[in-house]
Structure 1
Amino acid sequence: MTSDDLRIGLLLLITGIFTSCKHSNIEIHGHRGCRGYWPENSIYGMIAALQMDVDALEMDVVVTSDLQVILSHEPFFQHEICLDPNGNRIYESTQEAYNIYEFTYEQVKKTKCGTYPHPRFPLQKQREYFKPKLSDVIDTVEVFAKNKGKKFYYNIEIKARDEWEGIFHPDYRAFADLVAGVIYRHKIVDRCLVQSFHLPTLQYLRQAHPALRLALLIDADEKPSEKLDMLGFLPDVMSPHYSHILPQWVKFCNSRRIKLIPWTVNDIPTALKLIKMGVHGIITDYPDSIARATGR
């Protein structure tokens, strides 16, 4: 048994101990679907997360050379989860050379991910897949949810950075418009949250697409108050790294009707501590464990 196996086993054991705690109003967001159990940002993972009764499907999007919006956490084929187009392993030192913005979607479909076990998620099932289009993900999960009577919303992260513009993605406004277009065409505006770490993207969306609900992502090394000031408006949701959660932030968000939904919380004691402090939701790789711990 590895140390990761032991950690996960203890997590699941603790889950059973805390099931008497009732916090059924807490939103649970399946991080990249449910990365703890299924390959990230895959249709398999999204369906599995819905079976775990998540409130939201959290996913990341990037852009191909033919301007297709696809699910991927990185704008390149990441060495831990993907092979190169010839079926060979990718090295961390060269992974950025496999730039998705230089691939057509037909080329993306021929590039395999999920072939080998994930080194950091020992419970994750091995299932080979290719990075799917956002539109295909929506089509698939909508049919599944309708057939199973599942209610949920989408939490879509736009992976934009200043230093990536023109290299790993188009102009941030064009990127945002592409994502918004998919949302509009699928008529999910009222069931969609768009999040980003990138302030210009959020500022543009607020101006150009005011119907969309927006979430400000805050990294562990960023100061929430400074980033919120730089944003220039109050978002619908604040999603800081969980280490930033303090009582004053809970009070601030409650007084302004902003949801506070930290990321990425994978252990039960931390989740219950945050819930006790008053957060409105949890983004997690293990949505079933968090659900049991909150008495759902």
Structure 2
Amino acid sequence: MAQILKIGHRGSKAHVPENTLASFQNALDMGVDGLELDVHVCSTGELVVIHDFTVDRTTNGTGEVHKMTLAELKELKVEGGHKIPTLEEVLELAGKKCFLNIELKGRHTAAPVSALMEKYVAEKGFSYNDFIVSSFQREELMIMYNSNPDIHLGVLSQASVTQAWEWAQEFSAKAIHPHFSLLTESNVKKAQQAGYKVYTWTVNDPEDIERMKSYNVDGIMSDYPERL
């Protein structure tokens, strides 16, 4: 049986504030195979790692991420005194210690993520196997697929494994990323037989983790990487 990859969801979200360098480092210290993170483009064009479309929930500030400059975002404090990192800062931290699952959360993220990945592959010794780019957004997946077919895509779904499968076919994706509640032993096997990896999220309860392992999924994302 193939190893089931352990993927830290937004780093190690249950232990250290999500999507911070400290959270990613903590997950690396736990021996994860991959890190999952979310990206938006700020008003000055940089890719920043934050989940929400606003800074209100996770920082001491308020406002929409895409309307703020990098300097403004860097002034904000995440709980515990952490800062919002850029995608480049996370890449430098992670190096090639594990793969990165980059979720295109905000609009217009596909093109700059593609350009940054191409730079790291061309100049810093990374390979496309070091990344998987996922999204719920069909438009961003399409742009990424059209800009660089070498980039490995994952189709996120909270509603339908069938829809994820259809989009995966359309964009030659490597993986589908369904919420764990959508999975059965049968549809996991069917997807794998069709050539797709199955990476599921966000699996925190030990019983759910064991059930996903019994289905032989390819990877599990969790806020508690040590439970995987």
TM-score computed with the length of structure 1 as normaliser: 0.71
Structure 1 counterpart of 2:157, one-letter code: I
Aligned to 2:186: 248
Note if contact 1:63-1:75 (Cα within 8 Å) is conserved in structure 2.
no
Which whole-Å deviations, capped at 9, do the CAs of 1:132-187 have from their partners, x for residues lacking one?
11111111232xx6xxxxx3101000014xxxxxxxx4xx3xx2111111212222
Which whole-Å deviations, capped at 9, do the CAs of 1:206-243 have from their partners, x for residues lacking one?
12210100000001xx2221343255244211110100
Aligned with residue 69 of structure 2, among 98, 104, 125 = 104
Aligned to 1:274: 212
Note if contact 1:33-1:41 (Cα within 8 Å) is conserved in structure 2.
yes
Aligned with residue 78 of structure 1, among 36, 45, 56 = 56
Higher relative contact order (Cα pairs below 8 Å, separated by 6+ residues) = 1
User: CA–CA distance in 2 between the matches of 1:233 and 1:68?
Assistant: 26
Shift of 1:103: 0.9
1:192 and 1:230, CA in 2 relative to 1: closer, same or farther beyond 3 A? closer
Matches within 5 A, 1:32-71: 32-71=10-49
Instruction: Quote the sequence identity (%).
Output: 26
Note if contact 2:155-2:167 (Cα within 8 Å) is conserved in structure 1.
no
Alignment RMSD, CA only?
1.7
Note if contact 2:141-2:171 (Cα within 8 Å) is conserved in structure 1.
no
Structure 1: 4+ residue segments shifted above 3 A? none
Which whole-Å deviations, capped at 9, do the CAs of 1:81-106 have from their partners, x for residues lacking one?
2112xxxxxxxxxx5xx011111101
Aligned to 1:118: none
1:218 and 1:211, CA in 2 relative to 1: closer, same or farther beyond 3 A? same
Structure 1 portions without partners, runs of 5+: 1-22, 85-94, 115-126, 146-150, 161-168, 291-296
Note if contact 2:135-2:141 (Cα within 8 Å) is conserved in structure 1.
yes
Q: What SS does the aligned partner of 1:261 have? A: strand
Structure 2 counterpart of 1:83, one-letter code: N
Q: What SS does the aligned partner of 1:282 have? A: strand
Q: Give 1 or 2: higher strand fraction.
A: 2
Which whole-Å deviations, capped at 9, do the CAs of 1:45-91 have from their partners, x for residues lacking one?
11111111101011000011001001000121032x2112xxxxxxx
Aligned with residue 140 of structure 1, among 72, 93, 96 = 93
Structure 2 portions without partners, runs of 5+: none
Note if contact 2:44-2:70 (Cα within 8 Å) is conserved in structure 1.
yes
Structure 1 counterpart of 2:120, one-letter code: H
User: CA–CA distance in 2 between the matches of 1:245 and 1:273?
Assistant: 10
When Rg is computed on C-alpha atoms for both structures, the one with the higher figure is 1
TM-score computed with the length of structure 2 as normaliser: 0.91
User: CA–CA distance in 2 between the matches of 1:78 and 1:180?
Assistant: 28
The count of corresponding residues between Structure 1 and Structure 2 is: 222
User: CA–CA distance in 2 between the matches of 1:138 and 1:51?
Assistant: 16
